[in-house]
Amino acid sequence: MPARLPYAYKYLRAKKKFPHVWCPGCGIGIVMGSIIRAIDSLGWELDDILMVSGIGCTSRMPVYVDFNTLHTTHGRALAFGTGAKMANPNLKVLAVMGDGDSMAIGGNHIIHAARRNMDITAIIVNNNNYGMTGGQFSPTTPQGARTSTTPYGMIEPDFDICKLTEAAGANYVARGDVYHVVELDGLFKKALSGSGFRVVEAMAPCPTNFGRANRQGDAVNMMELLRDETITIAQSAKLPREKTEGKTVRGIFVDKNEIGYLERYQALCDRVSPEVKK
Amino acid sequence: MSEKPIKGQTKEEHCDTEEEKKPAVHIFPEWCKGCGICVAFCPKQVLEMGRDQKAHVVYPERCIECALCARRCPEFAVYVSGDDIKEGKKKNGGEK
């Protein structure tokens, strides 16, 4: 073992599981580090946190962190997370999902979790394809992009995760990327410390599948793309239209403080049967 | 990757030029997969890729401890002493 230990060592299952399975240059590791730094700055106890995930590259994340973890079926991270939160409302539930996991297979779960305003933080790592199974297109693959199942370009329009969850009623919706990692830390910190349903979309490169299919180069080139092709909300308002066109806007889109599902559930319990009151 | 000669093996020479400055950046070769992100985005070009396709600390005297390498490392293979978590707290007591 190295003489000096990494800062995140406390939070990682470092002796058993590292190095991790993600490809060289995959952005999911950066997102995981960012989540860990956010939790560290909030000073939470490891045992109070539940990280729940479905299936996919991103959903390998609970394997590597030393919280309470739950690795569930494809797309059902939010369903299992809802159950865990209802059973033990003191848990701080983080659902980590990929773009396919959250938008395609678990698409129904995310809109209804957002509608209920369930007290869960949903972290969606968007790498624009299904990386684990060989780079098939996902609902967030941009139109025109090549993947292994759209070799002549994607003809379907893509989902905007932030707009979808905003419309469905989430309390907090934000988008960041792994190049602007300090900003991403802040987004996670704000999301985790809030209440209700909170969504953070983290854009991450997939150099092995998406990058190779679209001739975007290696991990460094894809990080440069994230740097050049994203703008903040303030920039998108200020810059002329030709400079903002085709670029992805990052930042906090929604930050409400509406009553979450748990509070409403508790109010119902209090109203219907006073003896159940805790 | 850079075109310069491989500097991975000559780390000690560069350390000697400064009066025994301890390197602030540490890279754990066991975990490094050689993606090159830390090397490419270091604002002071402290790191370089070695012949073994892993990052090496070549110019530790240039390091300003911004810890962007540690934050952007997907493999958790970079650690900056003095700690990169913003509040400056020292974390991680000992092995686990």
* Token duo for residue A146: 């090549």
pLDDT confidence band for B11 (50 / 70 / 90): very low
Q: Does B90 touch chain A (CB under 8 A)?
A: no
The span from the CA of A41 to the CA of B87, in Å, is 8
Of residues A6 and B26, which shows the higher confidence score?
A: B26
Residue B89 above 50 pLDDT?
no
Whether A4 is covered by a domain: the verdict is: no
Whether A12 is covered by a domain: the verdict is: no
| Complete DSSP assignment for A212-269 | HHTT--SHHHHHHHHHHSEEEHHHHHHS-HHHHTTPEEEEEEEE-----HHHHHHHHH
Residue A17 has what pLDDT?
Answer: 81
Q: Shortest Cα distance from A124 to chain B (angstroms)?
A: 17
Strand spans (E) along chain B? 25-27, 47-49, 55-57, 78-80
Whether A236 is covered by a domain: the verdict is: yes
Residue of chain B whose Cα is closest to the Cα of A20: B75
Whether A20 is covered by a domain: the verdict is: no
Domains of chain B: 22-80 (3.30.70.20)
CATH code where residue A158 lies: 3.40.50.970
pLDDT, tens digit, 9 for 90 and up, residues A43-96: 899 899 999 999 999 999 999 999 999 999 999 999 999 999 999 999 999 999
Residue A8 has what pLDDT?
Answer: 63
Whether A104 is covered by a domain: the verdict is: yes
Q: Which domain holds residue A258?
A: 25-276
Within 8 A of B34 by CB-CB distance, chain A residues are 24
Residue of chain A whose Cα is closest to the Cα of B83: A7
Q: How many domains does the structure of chain A reveal?
A: 1
Residue A5 has what pLDDT?
Answer: 53
The maximal CA–CA distance of chain B, rounded, in angstroms, is 40
Percentage of chain B exceeding pLDDT 90: 11
Residue A2 above 90 pLDDT?
no
pLDDT, tens digit, 9 for 90 and up, residues A105-144: 999 999 999 999 999 999 999 999 998 999 999 999 999 9
Asked if omega into A205 is within 30° of 0 (cis), the reply is no
Of residues B90 and A220, which shows the higher confidence score?
A: A220
Whether A69 is covered by a domain: the verdict is: yes
Residue B30 has what pLDDT?
Answer: 86
Whether A7 is covered by a domain: the verdict is: no
